[in-house]
Structure 1
Amino acid sequence: MYNSLRMRDIASQIHPQTNLAAHETVGPTIMARGEGAYVYDDDGKQYIEGMSGLWCAALGMSEKRLVDAATRQLNTLPYYQNFAHRATEPAIELSERLLKIAPVPMSKVLFQSSGSEANDTAVKLAWYYFHAQGKPEKKKIIARNRGYHGTSIGSASITGLPHLHREFNLPLPGFLHVTCPHFYREGRPGETEEDFSTRLAEELDALIVAEGPDTVAAFFAEPAMGTGGVVIPPKTYFEKIQKVLKKHDVLLVADEVITGFGRTGAWWGSQTFGLEPDMITCAKALTAAYMPLSAVLLSERLYAGMKAQSEKIGVFGHGYTYGAHPVACAVGVEALRIYEEDGIIDGVAALGERMAEGMLPLAEHPLVGEVRGVGLMWGVEIVRDKRTREAFPADMQFGIGIQNRAFENGLVCRSLGTAIAFAPPLISTPEQIDAVVSRFRDALDRSLDAYLAGGGRLGE
């Protein structure tokens, strides 16, 4: 009964972000190998990996320099911990490199293994810092609806997606959410983008005042929202939000887990959208996903408070067994070298323009309400009525149907709410970018044909 890989998977493994009952019937698609921007299933079928895995395989699936970096370190020192004054050369070098390329001056780096751990850690550090300032009540965390910051207990509480909360007893108390900065969905009739940004800044200010500024520690924001549907901030948004945060001494944490290391066309999304964070969390493309690794970058202001607090207590009581893992750090060092030496990040702008040339005309398609994106991070909003912007009912899973038809076409993309998301590897060729667009356009057309043939109607 369990002699095939598919049956063995169903019998043994839980798949995140999956309908577990449906999986027992559908089973997995088993990916067997990868090469550049392509992955191949165990039947040999080729797919363009239009999501870089989970936004992370920025250098594709066959970068030998990363494999060699890991192998060298495995043969030298395969593991060591960094508790209690221990260190390794790869962790030191990667820390130095991250501080050198940081979008604003940063003082220190703290390593973890995942983006969720990094955001959990950032919450703890904000609390620790304000204890050092004699403000222990300053501990509430504010984020945005549809923001994504992870799925651990703390990071899922920051996240503003209901399905990550439902029946998990989340979010925890003290985690608050404000309006998603998606102008297409949240803007009011007659409101300009600048007016919308003003309203959201006023909403944030009012929430901080209502809760008490002496109780609010930090505001978490992705420079461009990823899993919430690729939401690009409206004009003047972060300029106005940051004024509110500074007014109330609320820390800004830039979640660069998706946007860091070239995804938006700059080293950091904070550079693209003008953020000046107190902390930066990053992961994913930090190692191009070849090893699990994340980092929190901290300003000198925060580090000084943490140092004083640890001196008072006698120890900085935080850490992970695999934090600053030497193999992961060695791969991270090599990934940063490749981004810089091979001009990878410099090349994103041209690839992004190529993708825009293909994607933006899709706005005329009967099923598309909006096309939005930056660099190699794009979202296509799916609607039933272009005039009213009505979405398809969630129980129809219309976006999943489009995603599945694209998969049949040999394209990996991802249905996220009412949008379809794309994040191809930064090493994609112009021809591969064109193929992403053409294969997706075909999936749209086939989805429309099937819907109309089944008696469905679009809005006028």
Structure 2
Amino acid sequence: MTNTSCALGDADVTSVLHPYTDARQHQALGPLMIERGQGIYVYDSEGKEYIEAMSGLWSVALGFSEERLVAAAEAQLRTLPFYHIFNRKAHAPSTKLASKLLELAPVPMSKVFFTNSGSEANDTVVKLIWYRNNALGKPLKKKLISRLNAYHGVTVMSASLTGLPNNHRGFDLPLGPVLHVSCPHFYRFGKQGETEEQYADRLAQELEALILKEGADTIAAFFGEPLMGAGGVLVPPRTYWQKIQAVCRKYDILLIADEVICGFGRTGSMFGCDTFDIYPDAMLVSKQLSSSYQPIAAVLINESIFEPIADQSHQIGTLGHGFTATGHPVASAVSLENIRIIQEDNLVARAAEIGALLNEKLGAFHKHPLVGEVRGQGLIAAVELVSDKATKARFASPGSVGAYLAQRAQHHGVITRNIGDAIAFCPPLVTSEKQTLDIVERFARALDDTEKWYSTQMV
């Protein structure tokens, strides 16, 4: 049941055009109005409590009421509420945050460019790569390779990199310079009798064949999330990243790691690159960078990317790219405090520990007749629903059963996310053992509800 009552006076609850929402359905039903948060819980306008088992949008690492982040924002607002970093201006918060990110990076990085979102970060790194290759006298080396089911954002270029149909349909996307290779989901796309390593070999061969077909001198970069988030929480098959990296290095193709979901502890390591032994030329971070208390993202580039860019900007007289809020002082101050808390409270190790518990308890649903696969890494997981366990067959109306389950989970007081009949979990890093068991118990009730409902649909 949808909740639309709230103390908004004359405000129209359907006045916003909402992202990832059926606009007509929203006009008819209205929104669930969330009014406040406390720890891992959020509360609607009628006072109902929900465990936010998705950390909002994969992002609220510290929960919804961390006073140290509020204090950091207030202190910076009172000192320097805004200043830009154009034209050789600077301020301490963004400078300190850049230094901290370079210190934490899993491989040597040279410089940090700040944006406001992961989408902008992906667009920015594309522009920087093209700028670099022009500086190197490689004007044809501009094509970009991403993967089906990837999620890299929703601006024009980042949506082109994204490999999800609904991010393309109706928008005339993807743009021409973007190519897509197969999604690395062994459960769904591995062949009969094929091992994970053999599957990884096949995907690496597919990538190499595409490079040879297009011409290595036309391909600039390969983009990948260490673990694919919005595409369904897809954990890469064993040896996948080692083999993909080898192909990229062989043909002088930059490797770009999109850490927007994976970064700052989500996979049980500080970065997904640490978890999966990835050695990128550039990294993108956002979401848990500030626990989403402030909008901020960052692009980290290595020396081989920076040096030609620096030469080109000197020749032209400027680097003609940036945003008003690039390196915003309040967002930077909050991010610094957020990282301090993650480190001081050892939340990366906690994510690995609590994540192991979450994945263990969800794994018990393997025997359920509607469950095809349970997968995860660190404190992120998914349960994929199928109509037939033996054949892994999807439902006649893809997404409908998962949508029903997600609604029942919400009824039972836990917010999850349905991704094409895969139910995703991504609770805050501060989630306790008891709260984790509560998430699983509420999900179990929703799954039972769904099985009963689905059996009536089959009659």
Give the alignment's TM-score, normalised by structure 2. Answer: 0.97
> What RMSD, in angstroms, separates the aligned Cα atoms of the two structures?
1.5
- Aligned pair 1:82/2:82, yes or no? no
- Aligned pair 1:311/2:314, yes or no? yes
**Contact kept? 1:352, 1:375, Cα under 8 Å:** yes
Deviations 1:226-269, CA, capped at 9 Å, x for gaps: 00000000000000000000011110000000000000011100
Shift of 1:305: 1.1
**Separation in structure 2 between the aligned mates of residue 54 and residue 202 of structure 1, nearest angstrom:** 34
**Structure 2 counterparts to residues 190-201 of structure 1, below 5 A:** 190-201=193-204
- Aligned pair 1:283/2:264, yes or no? no
**Contact kept? 1:9, 1:28, Cα under 8 Å:** no
- Aligned pair 1:353/2:356, yes or no? yes
Name the amino acid aligned to 2:167: L
2:381 alignment counterpart? 378
1:148 alignment counterpart? 151
**Structure 2 counterparts to residues 412-451 of structure 1, below 5 A:** 412-451=415-454
Distance 1:125 1:394, change over 3 A: farther
Distance 1:6 1:359, change over 3 A: farther
Shift of 1:4: 6.8
- Aligned pair 1:216/2:219, yes or no? yes
Distance 1:204 1:427, change over 3 A: same
**Separation in structure 2 between the aligned mates of residue 169 and residue 452 of structure 1, nearest angstrom:** 40
- The secondary structure found in structure 2 opposite 1:167 is coil
**Separation in structure 1 between the aligned mates of residue 179 and residue 394 of structure 2, nearest angstrom:** 26
Which of these residues, 268, 272, 280, is aligned with residue 271 of structure 2?
268
- The secondary structure found in structure 2 opposite 1:12 is coil
Shift of 1:396: 6.2
Shift of 1:6: 10
- Aligned pair 1:203/2:233, yes or no? no
2:335 alignment counterpart? 332
2:133 alignment counterpart? 130
Deviations 1:86-114, CA, capped at 9 Å, x for gaps: 00100011001000010100011000000
Shift of 1:8: 3.8
**Contact kept? 2:224, 2:257, Cα under 8 Å:** yes
**Separation in structure 2 between the aligned mates of residue 322 and residue 383 of structure 1, nearest angstrom:** 44
2:303 alignment counterpart? 300
Deviations 1:29-83, CA, capped at 9 Å, x for gaps: 0001000000000100000000000000010000000000000000000000000
- The secondary structure found in structure 2 opposite 1:93 is helix
**Separation in structure 1 between the aligned mates of residue 96 and residue 398 of structure 2, nearest angstrom:** 49
1:13 alignment counterpart? 16
Name the amino acid aligned to 2:170: E
**Separation in structure 2 between the aligned mates of residue 421 and residue 121 of structure 1, nearest angstrom:** 29
Which of these residues, 74, 84, 95, is aligned with residue 71 of structure 1?
74
Name the amino acid aligned to 2:76: Q
**Separation in structure 2 between the aligned mates of residue 172 and residue 258 of structure 1, nearest angstrom:** 24
**Contact kept? 2:356, 2:378, Cα under 8 Å:** yes
Shift of 1:199: 0.3
Shift of 1:395: 5.5
**Separation in structure 2 between the aligned mates of residue 283 and residue 133 of structure 1, nearest angstrom:** 29
**Contact kept? 2:398, 2:421, Cα under 8 Å:** no
2:182 alignment counterpart? 179
Shift of 1:11: 3.8
Distance 1:7 1:337, change over 3 A: same
Deviations 1:306-349, CA, capped at 9 Å, x for gaps: 11111111111110101100000000110110011111112111
Distance 1:436 1:308, change over 3 A: same
**Separation in structure 2 between the aligned mates of residue 297 and residue 393 of structure 1, nearest angstrom:** 43
**Separation in structure 2 between the aligned mates of residue 36 and residue 4 of structure 1, nearest angstrom:** 23
How many aligned residue pairs are there? Answer: 456
**Separation in structure 2 between the aligned mates of residue 12 and residue 60 of structure 1, nearest angstrom:** 28
Question: Which 10-residue stretch deviates more, 304-313 or 150-159?
Answer: 304-313
2:258 alignment counterpart? 255
- Aligned pair 1:189/2:172, yes or no? no
Shift of 1:455: 3.3
Name the amino acid aligned to 1:295: A
- The secondary structure found in structure 1 opposite 2:78 is helix
- Aligned pair 1:34/2:37, yes or no? yes
Distance 1:297 1:36, change over 3 A: same
- The secondary structure found in structure 2 opposite 1:39 is strand
**Separation in structure 1 between the aligned mates of residue 84 and residue 131 of structure 2, nearest angstrom:** 23
